[in-house]
Amino acid sequence: MKKEIPLLNTITTASNQDLEKYEQKFKALADQQRLQIINILAVKESVCVCDLTPIIDMPQSKLSYHLKILLEADLIKKEKQGTWNYYSLNVSELKGILSDQLCCVFLPSSC
C-alpha cells in the first residue's frame, strides 16, 4: 500500500515521511522468522546465507526473501566477498528504533 495518508498536521507531530519510513521498518520487524534472523546475526556477528540456511531451517530462496526485506528496511547490512554474501546487523539503526529493553532481548551483546 503506497497510499499517502491525509495530512493532519495541525494535530499530529509525525510527518508523512516518518509514517512511511517507520511503517517499513516495523513491517520488517513484524515477523518471527525475521526477528530470529536478527537474533542470530546479533550472536554470530557476520554470516553468509549458506551458513544461515542450516541454522534456521528454511529453503534458500525463502531466506533470501526475508534478508531482502530486512536489508531494504536498512536493519541489516550486506557485504559481498567473492561468491559469498555476508550479512550483519545495522546496530545503530536498530538501536535508533528499539528500546534498551528490546535490545537486550534481541541484541544481547549490546546489554
Partner DNA sequence: CTGGTATATCAAAAATAATTGATTTATACA
Partner DNA sequence: TGTATAAATCAATTATTTTTGATATACCAG
Amino acid letter for position 87: Y
Q: For a second copy, which is the closer residue by CB, 83 or 111?
A: 111
Figure out which of the listed residues 9, 13, 81, 83 binds a second copy, where binding follows CB under 8 A: 13
Main-chain phi, psi angles of 94, to 5 degrees: -65, -40
Stretch that binds DNA, among 11-19, 35-43, 65-73, 103-111 (CB under 7 A): 65-73
37, exposed or middle or buried, with CB in 10 Å at 0-12, 13-18, 19+? buried
CB 97 within 8 A of CB 25: yes
| Residue ranges that bind a second copy, judged by CB under 8 A | 1, 3, 5-6, 8, 11-14, 18-20, 22-23, 26-27, 29-33, 35-36, 39-40, 42-44, 55-57, 95-99, 101-102, 105-106, 108
